[in-house]
Structure formats: C-alpha cells, structure tokens
Amino acid sequence: MNTDNLPQQYDGSEVKEEASDELGGRCPAGPECQLEIDIILRSSDGYLIGAHRSNLDQYSDGFPDINAPMDATQPVDLVEDADTLKILMRFMHKQRYPKVSWLETRQIFALAEAAEKYLVYSAISACHDYIEGHVKQNPIESLCYAAKFNHPQIADTAAIHSICKSLDEIRTSSQNHHPTIYAWLQYREGYISVVESALNPPAPYINSRKQQHLCHFWEPYLTATMTELPRTTMQCLRLLAENRFSVSLYSKHSDLVNGCAACPTRVLNWKRDILDKMESIPAFHTFI
C-alpha cells in the first residue's frame, strides 16, 4: 500500500482514512465552518475529528476539562466511534442540525447515548423525539436507553413490548447495565405471574362442609378452554406484549357449565384473578 498521500497527524504519523469520508482532523460541519480547530478528538476506531473548544463549551455540559491547558497537537481519545462523533459535532454548531431519521437504528441509539453522556442538549432532544415515536419498532433498545437516561414515559411504553424477549437480549442491548436488567426482571416477573394464572385454572370450589366441589360440567369446559389458550409461557407473553390476549377466551365455552351452581363462579374467579394481577403490575419506571 502506498502511504505517501495519506494525511498526517500533528505528530507526523498516519491518519486512518475512509473513502468518501472527511479526512482525519477536519471539522465534520463542512466548509461552512470557519472556526479554528483547536482540539482534535480521536474516535474508538482511530479516526481524527477536528473540533472547537468554544463550541464544546457552549453546546454541551459534559466534555471534561475543555478549558484546561492541553497540547492542541495531541488527540483526545474518546470511546465513541467516528460516525457517532461526527454527527454529534454537527449538533454543536450554529447551523441546521442533521435529521436523525436518516440514520440507521444502531446509529440513532449510539448518538443518543453519546448525547446523554456529553450533555449535548440539541442532540438529546432530537434523539428523544425520534425514539419516542418508534418505540414499537425498537422496544428493547428504547427501553434500555430510557431506563439508563431517565426517560420514564418511553420506558413505560417500551416495557410491555419487551416481556417476550430474552434476558440475553436485555443484557446485550443495555450493555450489562445492572439497574436496567434488575428493573426488567422485576417488571417481567409480574407478567410471569399473570401467565401462571392464565394457563392454570383456579382451585376447585370448597363448600361449607370443607368438601371439594366436583361435577361433570367442569372437565368439558376446561378441555374446550385450554385448546383456545397458548401452550407455553413464552407464547402467552408474546400475546400480552402484542395486546392480543383477552380474558374473553374464558367465557367462550362458559355455556358448558351452565348446569352447575358452582362452576360459573370458578370461571369468574379465573378471569378475575388474571385481571387483578395485570392491573397490579406497577409501571416500569417505578422499578428503577
């Protein structure tokens, strides 16, 4: 590979370069920006990005030691990748902000994370509004973002759509953020309890003589009803997440117990137990 034409860092070493991208050390705002580059950021993937201390100070509250003495020729290493930092820097100029709707989902959540970390309020607002409008499309990512950065409305909206997901998915998306994982486990446990009631009939009626009520009406009803219900916990959680589960299923074959004085009450108690448990589940944000 011929390295003669590669751009150079201030110390003379080579800068990583990507075709059709800005050269290392340039301001991502483009030629319209006439400000002097007085600080160089180095992304996690090794690209150099030109920035301005005055803008970092004016448009954010999270970049550390911006006004501290430093060697302007030495890049400041950051953990974000180049794409994320370049977009973030464009939110820190007096110009039209980029449309986050044009970004890939992965980029939007990476930008949202960086914006919250460095307190770039214009980017926080843009990402928040987009994520809030696309919760159903990205439930796990939205939940983890909202739980980590205290956006309770988004967290509460996203939470129900996440109950049919796996713990591994939550761990990965939250980057092992323990408060989010713990909150999700507590929240989901409420729906596990709902499923246990949904898939298991209540105990038989006990009469005043403390005898178990048994009759020939219940078994035909139970057999017919169980064929209408999901077979597994995960299937039931998916129906709950998609708002396709209804206790009306338990009334569909209730005519089969009409000849019994006690069995209709048992059906009613089955439905009531499910509804009571669903209504008792707190909003997700209360677990954080």
> In what order do the strands lie in the sheet containing 48-51?
48-51, 39-42, 76-77
Neighbours of 236 (CB within 10 A): 22
Q: Give pLDDT, residue 72.
A: 64
Length of the chain: 288
Whether the CB-CB separation of 120 and 85 falls below 8 Å is answered with no
* 6-10, 126-130, 207-211: which is most confident: 126-130
Secondary structure class of 242 (helix, strand, coil): coil
Confidence (pTM): 0.81
Percent of the chain with pLDDT over 70: 88
Question: Strand pairing of 76-77 and 39-42?
Answer: parallel
Domains delineated in the chain? 1-96 (3.30.710), 188-287 (no CATH)
Q: Give pLDDT, residue 65.
A: 64
Distance CA 82, CA 44 (A): 7
C-alpha closest to that of 127 among 153, 101, 149: 101
Question: Strand pairing of 48-51 and 76-77?
Answer: unpaired
Mean pLDDT of 46-63: 91
pLDDT above 90: residue 9? no
Give tens-digit pLDDT for 16-46. Answer: 333 233 334 789 988 888 888 888 999 999 9
Give tens-digit pLDDT for 113-157. Answer: 999 999 999 999 999 999 999 999 999 999 999 999 999 999 999
